[in-house]
Amino acid sequence: DGGITQSPKYLFRKEGQNVTLSCEQNLNHDAMYWYRQDPGQGLRLIYYSQIVNDFQKGDIAEGYSVSREKKESFPLTVTSAQKNPTAFYLCASIRGHIKQGIKRGMTEAFFGQGTRLTVV
Amino acid sequence: DAKTTQPNSMESNEEEPVHLPCNHSTISGTDYIHWYRQLPSQGPEYVIHGLTSNVNNRMASLAIAEDRKSSTLILHRATLRDAAVYYCILNGGTSYGKLTFGQGTILTVHP
């Protein structure tokens, strides 16, 4: 079955350590996204990538890094520069929709089940 | 980026219709309107999306105002499983590729 998988589900990190969250999709989707969600809050965009080897900063990119070496994979590294990393992290993928050479907007996005990161 | 405005919370009774509003007064002509919902401790799931015409699917209906500055997600008969946070977002045109969520509307369904 096609889908998007995040791992691990729970992750504990010591202060000062970098940690990498995995996101893999086998939906052949072009675009992938990383979001952060704090308790009782909405989703905030960290980074997104529309094609391989290219990505853009979202609204809260500081302290995070990403790579997009393969279409299926979009790992997120939470660096020691991120001062408050404890949060719920969500990855999403979406197939772009281009009609007659014009970008017409995205089709439905698929989300992973999330990784809950806790700094100890 | 075009932004959306939704009420913080709404309540409904089971088996009654629910109308969830969304304002997007700065929407551009090529922005699609998307709706997602999120259950506790889960990733959001797609509900519906549209451009200009009203849309229906098995989950809900989307009513888009003629001037496209607002839209309404309609759940025809709310169930307890519909209790979730509902997000209205825009994508397309100048904001193509950037999928930005707001705070959403917390829907409570009473038995």
Going from the C-alpha of B31 to that of each of A10, A42, B18, B51, the distances in angstroms are: 36, 21, 25, 7
Question: To the nearest whole number, what is the mean pLDDT of chain A?
Answer: 90
DSSP-derived secondary structure letter, B20: E
Q: Which residues of A touch B29 (CB under 8 A)?
A: none
Q: Do A109 and B99 touch (CB under 8 A)?
A: yes
DSSP-derived secondary structure letter, A53: T
Reported as a single tens digit per residue, the pLDDT across A42-70 is 999 999 998 899 999 999 999 999 999 99
Tell me the CB-side half-sphere exposure of residue B32, using CA atoms within 13 A.
Answer: 21
Instruction: Give the mean pLDDT of A71-82.
Output: 95
Beta strands in B1-111 (DSSP E): 9-13, 18-23, 32-38, 45-50, 55-56, 61-64, 70-75, 84-91, 105-110
Tell me the sheet residues that pair with A116. Answer: A10, A88
Reported as a single tens digit per residue, the pLDDT across B18-61 is 999 999 998 888 888 999 999 988 899 999 999 899 999 999 99
Q: Which residues of A touch B44 (CB under 8 A)?
A: 43, 90, 92, 109, 111
Q: Do B96 and A105 touch (CB under 8 A)?
A: yes
Q: How many CB pairs under 8 A join A and B?
A: 80
Q: What is the Cα–Cα distance from B94 to B28, expressed in whole angstroms?
A: 8
Q: Looking at CA atoms only, how far is residue B77 from chain A in angstroms?
A: 23
